[in-house]
């Protein structure tokens, strides 16, 4: 345990990225008496509505990054695809949490799987694919079905193709080639679960209860607590998430997504993906935890002790995608806590808000 001097209220926190995660991080920071400054290229960023301090500039604009860094006391980010060069410019001028290592690992599927494998953590079988011949060889080794993915910049199902028969290989390769690819064995999982883990600047690690996630059109639709999994599976997932945060020397909140392949006395769990940031599947913590994932992220980067992750009630988080946002105001169901991101345009597939639907006890 390192001795840490916590940053005091009034600290200026810079946030790279002005989407809903940056917005909710800013709200959490304000609760703790901090001031926030949002850096985002998009002048209509939702996070710009919750602080008077902003920089509208590109992530490659070194002068703007330096000015931003000099205007704040500590910097964090809302998305894992912050360019490493950007992170470097920031880190040369002001503390950056989480550090560049988590970005390096999570920005590249091959680097991520290599890191996890070296740490003894199980992942789906995978092979790097740099050519059509590589793909055939990988299919021969891994078998079908399998999923061909770009190693970088994939999210919400973008940048991937499922290969079910050998005949699919050609089209999948044609659709994605030109960048580094990876073929991953298709996992016949029972459930998708995720764990939100937070590591403090002092090395203390806390985890929240695992969420059971359901995706629709490759976008997270619901996270349900408790997950209908065994206590052993939950403990194992929490343990792996904690191990990852520790191995990375991570500071802040991280989401770890898992495939539960088999439950029971010896549960089989594979890590699907890690996200070095607050995570959509942890939004339920806002409604039923004393300290939610956003506040705990801010606590971590300030060097504060972490808060309680105990869940006070059962809850379902439901994402509101595209036009679904428009019904929010009318919902009168007791126990629903809505979060609306303030995006101006409700485009199809766009995350516009979420509902935390809490099972409140009878009065």
What residue ranges bind a second copy (CB under 8 A)? 6-10, 23, 27, 30-35, 48-52, 54, 287-288, 290-291, 295, 302, 304-305, 307-308, 310, 312-313, 325-326, 328-332, 334-342, 344, 353, 356, 358, 360-361, 363
Which stretches of 29-145 are assigned E, i.e. beta strand?
Answer: 35-40, 53-56, 74-77, 126-129
Nearer to a second copy, 116 or 358 (CB): 358
Nearer to a second copy, 27 or 121 (CB): 27
- Is the peptide bond preceding residue 37 cis, with omega within 30 degrees of 0? no
Q: Give ∠ CA 118-123-124 in degrees, rounded to 5.
A: 135
Cα–Cα distance measured from residue 256 to residue 335, given in angstroms and rounded to the nearest whole number: 27
**Minimum distance from CB of 358 to a second copy (Å)?**
5
Nearer to a second copy, 13 or 271 (CB): 13
Nearer to a second copy, 240 or 352 (CB): 352
| DSSP-derived 3-state class of residue 200 | coil
In 10 A of CB 168, how many CB atoms? Answer: 17
**Minimum distance from CB of 201 to a second copy (Å)?**
12
12: left (phi over 0), alpha (psi -120 to 50) or beta: beta
Nearer to a second copy, 145 or 307 (CB): 307
Instruction: Write out the H or E segment, with its range, that includes residue 199.
Output: strand 191-199
**Minimum distance from CB of 237 to a second copy (Å)?**
15
Nearer to a second copy, 29 or 89 (CB): 29
**Minimum distance from CB of 267 to a second copy (Å)?**
20
**Minimum distance from CB of 98 to a second copy (Å)?**
20
Give which of 299, 302, 275 is closest to 102, Cα–Cα. Answer: 275
**Minimum distance from CB of 163 to a second copy (Å)?**
41
Q: What is the DSSP string of 4-25?
A: --PPPTT-EEEEE--SHHHHHH
Q: Are 37 and 11 in contact (CB under 8 A)?
A: no
**Minimum distance from CB of 88 to a second copy (Å)?**
29
**Minimum distance from CB of 60 to a second copy (Å)?**
25
3-state secondary structure 268-287: EEEEEEEECCCCHHHCCHHH
Residues 6+ apart with CB under 8 A from 160: 147, 148, 149, 150, 154, 176
Nearer to a second copy, 120 or 363 (CB): 363
Nearer to a second copy, 160 or 291 (CB): 291
In 10 A of CB 147, how many CB atoms? Answer: 18
């Amino acid at each position: 345990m390192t001795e840490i001097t916590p940053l005091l209220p009034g600290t200026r926190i810079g946030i790279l990225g002005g989407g809903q995660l940056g917005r909710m991080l800013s709200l959490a920071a304000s609760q703790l008496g901090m001031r926030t400054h949002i850096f985002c290229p998009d002048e209509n960023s939702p996070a710009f509505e919750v602080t008077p301090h902003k920089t509208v500039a590109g992530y490659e604009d070194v002068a703007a990054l330096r000015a931003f860094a000099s205007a704040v006391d500590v910097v964090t980010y809302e998305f894992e695809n912050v360019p490493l060069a950007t992170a470097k410019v920031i880190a040369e001028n002001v503390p950056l949490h989480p550090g560049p290592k988590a970005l390096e690992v999570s920005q590249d599927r091959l680097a991520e799987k290599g890191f996890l494998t070296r740490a003894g953590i199980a992942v789906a079988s995978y092979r790097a694919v740099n050519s059509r011949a590589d793909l055939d060889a990988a299919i021969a080794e891994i078998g079908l079905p399998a999923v061909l993915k770009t190693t970088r910049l994939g999210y919400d199902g973008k940048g991937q193709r499922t290969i079910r028969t050998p005949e699919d290989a050609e089209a999948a390769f044609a659709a994605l080639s030109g960048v580094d690819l990876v073929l991953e064995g298709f996992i016949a999982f029972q459930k998708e679960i995720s764990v939100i883990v937070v590591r403090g600047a002092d090395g203390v690690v806390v985890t929240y209860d695992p969420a059971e996630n359901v995706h629709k059109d490759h976008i997270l639709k619901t996270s349900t607590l408790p997950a209908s999994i065994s206590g052993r599976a939950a403990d194992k997932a929490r343990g792996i998430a904690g191990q990852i945060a520790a191995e990375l020397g991570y500071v802040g909140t991280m989401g770890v997504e898992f495939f539960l392949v088999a439950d029971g006395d010896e549960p089989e769990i594979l890590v699907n993906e890690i996200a070095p940031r607050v995570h959509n599947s942890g939004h339920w913590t806002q409604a039923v935890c004393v300290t939610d994932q956003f506040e705990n992220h801010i606590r971590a980067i300030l060097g504060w002790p972490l808060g309680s992750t105990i869940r006070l009630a059962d809850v379902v988080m439901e994402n509101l995608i595209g036009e679904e946002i428009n019904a929010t105001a009318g919902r009168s169901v007791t126990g629903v806590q809505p979060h609306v991101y303030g995006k101006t345009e409700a485009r199809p597939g766009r995350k516009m808000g979420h509902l935390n639907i809490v099972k409140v006890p009878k009065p």
